[in-house]
Structure 1
Amino acid sequence: MTDYENMSRRELVALRANIDKAIATAGDRDKRNALRAAEEAARNHGFSLADLMPLMTQAKPRRGRPAEEGGAPRYRNPDNPDQTWSGRGRRPRWIHEAEAAGRPLEDLRAD
Protein backbone atom coordinates (compact mmCIF):
# COMPACT_ATOMS: atom_id res chain seq x y z
CA MET A 1 0.00 0.00 0.00
CA THR A 2 1.29 3.44 -0.92
CA ASP A 3 1.90 5.95 1.85
CA TYR A 4 0.52 9.14 0.29
CA GLU A 5 1.49 11.23 3.29
CA ASN A 6 5.19 10.70 2.54
CA MET A 7 4.97 11.38 -1.20
CA SER A 8 6.18 14.68 -2.61
CA ARG A 9 3.81 17.04 -4.35
CA ARG A 10 5.45 16.18 -7.68
CA GLU A 11 4.92 12.45 -7.07
CA LEU A 12 1.28 13.04 -6.11
CA VAL A 13 0.64 15.12 -9.25
CA ALA A 14 2.20 12.40 -11.42
CA LEU A 15 0.12 9.78 -9.63
CA ARG A 16 -3.04 11.81 -10.24
CA ALA A 17 -2.17 12.15 -13.94
CA ASN A 18 -1.68 8.38 -14.18
CA ILE A 19 -4.98 7.76 -12.39
CA ASP A 20 -6.83 10.22 -14.66
CA LYS A 21 -5.38 8.44 -17.70
CA ALA A 22 -6.36 5.03 -16.30
CA ILE A 23 -9.91 6.26 -15.61
CA ALA A 24 -10.25 7.60 -19.16
CA THR A 25 -8.92 4.33 -20.58
CA ALA A 26 -11.34 2.31 -18.43
CA GLY A 27 -14.22 4.54 -19.55
CA ASP A 28 -13.33 4.02 -23.21
CA ARG A 29 -13.10 0.27 -22.64
CA ASP A 30 -16.50 0.25 -20.89
CA LYS A 31 -18.05 2.19 -23.79
CA ARG A 32 -16.64 -0.28 -26.33
CA ASN A 33 -17.99 -3.19 -24.26
CA ALA A 34 -21.41 -1.52 -24.04
CA LEU A 35 -21.41 -0.94 -27.80
CA ARG A 36 -20.56 -4.60 -28.45
CA ALA A 37 -23.37 -5.68 -26.10
CA ALA A 38 -25.84 -3.32 -27.80
CA GLU A 39 -24.81 -4.59 -31.24
CA GLU A 40 -25.27 -8.19 -30.08
CA ALA A 41 -28.69 -7.43 -28.55
CA ALA A 42 -29.82 -5.73 -31.76
CA ARG A 43 -28.48 -8.63 -33.85
CA ASN A 44 -30.34 -11.14 -31.60
CA HIS A 45 -33.54 -9.29 -32.49
CA GLY A 46 -32.74 -9.22 -36.21
CA PHE A 47 -31.55 -5.61 -36.42
CA SER A 48 -28.37 -3.61 -36.64
CA LEU A 49 -27.70 -0.55 -34.53
CA ALA A 50 -28.00 1.53 -37.70
CA ASP A 51 -31.56 0.19 -38.07
CA LEU A 52 -32.40 1.34 -34.54
CA MET A 53 -30.73 4.77 -34.57
CA PRO A 54 -33.73 6.61 -36.06
CA LEU A 55 -35.75 5.50 -33.04
CA MET A 56 -33.17 7.09 -30.74
CA THR A 57 -33.80 10.55 -32.16
CA GLN A 58 -37.61 10.46 -32.12
CA ALA A 59 -39.35 12.69 -29.59
CA LYS A 60 -39.94 10.92 -26.32
CA PRO A 61 -43.09 11.50 -24.29
CA ARG A 62 -42.69 14.16 -21.61
CA ARG A 63 -42.86 13.24 -17.99
CA GLY A 64 -44.17 15.44 -15.25
CA ARG A 65 -46.43 18.41 -15.68
CA PRO A 66 -47.90 19.38 -19.02
CA ALA A 67 -46.29 22.47 -20.52
CA GLU A 68 -49.33 24.66 -19.94
CA GLU A 69 -49.18 23.97 -16.20
CA GLY A 70 -45.48 24.07 -15.41
CA GLY A 71 -43.88 26.07 -18.20
CA ALA A 72 -46.15 29.10 -18.40
CA PRO A 73 -44.30 32.30 -17.56
CA ARG A 74 -45.09 33.58 -14.09
CA TYR A 75 -42.56 36.40 -14.12
CA ARG A 76 -41.65 38.86 -16.86
CA ASN A 77 -38.76 41.32 -17.05
CA PRO A 78 -40.37 44.78 -17.27
CA ASP A 79 -37.26 46.10 -19.06
CA ASN A 80 -37.39 43.32 -21.68
CA PRO A 81 -40.79 41.58 -21.94
CA ASP A 82 -39.22 38.78 -24.02
CA GLN A 83 -37.44 37.58 -20.88
CA THR A 84 -39.70 35.39 -18.76
CA TRP A 85 -39.34 32.82 -16.00
CA SER A 86 -41.75 30.06 -15.03
CA GLY A 87 -40.74 30.18 -11.37
CA ARG A 88 -39.14 26.75 -11.66
CA GLY A 89 -35.43 25.98 -11.88
CA ARG A 90 -32.62 28.48 -11.48
CA ARG A 91 -33.55 32.11 -11.25
CA PRO A 92 -32.43 34.08 -14.28
CA ARG A 93 -29.87 36.84 -13.92
CA TRP A 94 -32.47 39.56 -14.50
CA ILE A 95 -34.43 38.30 -11.44
CA HIS A 96 -31.29 38.45 -9.30
CA GLU A 97 -30.48 41.92 -10.60
CA ALA A 98 -34.01 43.21 -9.91
CA GLU A 99 -33.96 41.81 -6.36
CA ALA A 100 -30.49 43.26 -5.76
CA ALA A 101 -31.90 46.63 -6.84
CA GLY A 102 -34.54 46.29 -4.12
CA ARG A 103 -37.42 45.22 -6.33
CA PRO A 104 -39.66 42.54 -4.77
CA LEU A 105 -40.35 39.40 -6.78
CA GLU A 106 -44.08 40.18 -6.73
CA ASP A 107 -43.43 43.28 -8.87
CA LEU A 108 -42.18 41.02 -11.66
CA ARG A 109 -45.33 38.86 -11.88
CA ALA A 110 -46.48 38.28 -15.46
CA ASP A 111 -50.19 38.36 -14.55
Structure 2
Amino acid sequence: MADLDTMTKADLAKEREAAEARLKAIQKAESEYDGRRLKELKGQIEKMLADEGYTLADLMQGRAGAKKSAASSGKAAAKYRHPENPTKTWSGRGRQPAWYKEALEAGKTPADLAI
Protein backbone atom coordinates (compact mmCIF):
# COMPACT_ATOMS: atom_id res chain seq x y z
CA MET A 1 0.00 0.00 0.00
CA ALA A 2 1.31 3.40 -0.95
CA ASP A 3 1.85 6.26 1.49
CA LEU A 4 -1.59 7.90 1.78
CA ASP A 5 -0.13 11.31 2.61
CA THR A 6 1.49 11.63 -0.81
CA MET A 7 -1.50 10.45 -2.90
CA THR A 8 -3.73 12.67 -5.00
CA LYS A 9 -7.47 12.85 -4.41
CA ALA A 10 -8.06 10.60 -7.45
CA ASP A 11 -5.54 8.06 -6.15
CA LEU A 12 -7.21 8.11 -2.72
CA ALA A 13 -10.62 7.51 -4.34
CA LYS A 14 -9.20 4.53 -6.27
CA GLU A 15 -7.64 3.18 -3.06
CA ARG A 16 -10.99 3.55 -1.23
CA GLU A 17 -12.86 1.76 -4.02
CA ALA A 18 -10.33 -1.07 -3.97
CA ALA A 19 -10.64 -1.34 -0.17
CA GLU A 20 -14.46 -1.39 -0.37
CA ALA A 21 -14.34 -4.09 -3.06
CA ARG A 22 -11.97 -6.11 -0.88
CA LEU A 23 -14.27 -5.69 2.13
CA LYS A 24 -17.27 -6.93 0.12
CA ALA A 25 -15.26 -9.95 -1.01
CA ILE A 26 -14.31 -10.70 2.60
CA GLN A 27 -17.93 -10.38 3.77
CA LYS A 28 -19.09 -12.72 1.01
CA ALA A 29 -16.38 -15.24 1.91
CA GLU A 30 -17.46 -15.06 5.58
CA SER A 31 -21.09 -15.79 4.78
CA GLU A 32 -20.12 -18.62 2.45
CA TYR A 33 -17.84 -20.01 5.15
CA ASP A 34 -20.70 -20.08 7.67
CA GLY A 35 -22.92 -22.05 5.30
CA ARG A 36 -20.14 -24.41 4.32
CA ARG A 37 -19.07 -24.97 7.95
CA LEU A 38 -22.64 -25.65 9.10
CA LYS A 39 -23.03 -28.20 6.31
CA GLU A 40 -19.77 -29.90 7.38
CA LEU A 41 -20.83 -29.96 11.04
CA LYS A 42 -24.26 -31.36 10.18
CA GLY A 43 -22.59 -34.12 8.17
CA GLN A 44 -20.26 -34.96 11.07
CA ILE A 45 -23.15 -35.04 13.54
CA GLU A 46 -25.28 -37.20 11.22
CA LYS A 47 -22.35 -39.62 10.81
CA MET A 48 -21.83 -39.83 14.58
CA LEU A 49 -25.53 -40.51 15.10
CA ALA A 50 -25.63 -43.09 12.30
CA ASP A 51 -22.67 -44.90 13.87
CA GLU A 52 -24.81 -45.26 17.01
CA GLY A 53 -27.96 -46.21 15.07
CA TYR A 54 -29.76 -42.88 15.40
CA THR A 55 -30.90 -40.11 13.10
CA LEU A 56 -30.97 -36.35 13.51
CA ALA A 57 -34.76 -36.59 13.96
CA ASP A 58 -34.22 -39.01 16.86
CA LEU A 59 -31.92 -36.52 18.48
CA MET A 60 -34.38 -33.65 18.16
CA GLN A 61 -37.34 -35.66 19.48
CA GLY A 62 -35.51 -37.07 22.46
CA ARG A 63 -33.96 -33.80 23.55
CA ALA A 64 -34.53 -33.20 27.26
CA GLY A 65 -36.13 -29.89 28.07
CA ALA A 66 -37.07 -29.22 24.47
CA LYS A 67 -39.67 -26.51 24.10
CA LYS A 68 -42.84 -27.37 22.24
CA SER A 69 -43.78 -25.11 19.41
CA ALA A 70 -46.97 -23.08 19.70
CA ALA A 71 -48.51 -25.15 16.92
CA SER A 72 -47.85 -28.47 18.64
CA SER A 73 -48.97 -27.36 22.10
CA GLY A 74 -52.44 -26.40 20.86
CA LYS A 75 -54.88 -23.94 22.26
CA ALA A 76 -55.18 -23.43 26.00
CA ALA A 77 -58.21 -25.05 27.62
CA ALA A 78 -61.16 -22.79 28.37
CA LYS A 79 -61.62 -21.83 32.02
CA TYR A 80 -64.50 -19.37 31.76
CA ARG A 81 -67.77 -19.49 29.82
CA HIS A 82 -70.19 -16.74 28.86
CA PRO A 83 -73.27 -17.02 31.14
CA GLU A 84 -75.79 -16.81 28.29
CA ASN A 85 -73.83 -17.94 25.23
CA PRO A 86 -71.87 -21.15 25.95
CA THR A 87 -69.98 -20.90 22.65
CA LYS A 88 -68.06 -17.91 24.03
CA THR A 89 -65.21 -19.06 26.26
CA TRP A 90 -61.94 -17.70 27.59
CA SER A 91 -58.84 -19.54 28.77
CA GLY A 92 -57.92 -16.96 31.40
CA ARG A 93 -54.83 -16.01 29.39
CA GLY A 94 -54.23 -12.78 27.56
CA ARG A 95 -56.64 -9.90 27.32
CA GLN A 96 -60.00 -10.28 29.03
CA PRO A 97 -62.90 -10.48 26.56
CA ALA A 98 -65.55 -7.78 26.75
CA TRP A 99 -68.25 -10.22 27.89
CA TYR A 100 -66.05 -11.27 30.84
CA LYS A 101 -65.44 -7.67 31.90
CA GLU A 102 -69.13 -6.83 31.55
CA ALA A 103 -70.13 -9.83 33.67
CA LEU A 104 -67.70 -8.80 36.42
CA GLU A 105 -69.05 -5.23 36.34
CA ALA A 106 -72.59 -6.63 36.63
CA GLY A 107 -71.66 -8.31 39.91
CA LYS A 108 -70.59 -11.78 38.78
CA THR A 109 -67.41 -13.32 40.21
CA PRO A 110 -64.79 -15.27 38.29
CA ALA A 111 -66.03 -18.38 40.10
CA ASP A 112 -69.52 -17.76 38.69
CA LEU A 113 -68.10 -17.82 35.15
CA ALA A 114 -65.73 -20.75 35.70
CA ILE A 115 -66.39 -23.91 33.73
TM-score by length of 1: 0.45
* Larger CA Rg, structure 1 vs 2: 2
TM-score by length of 2: 0.44
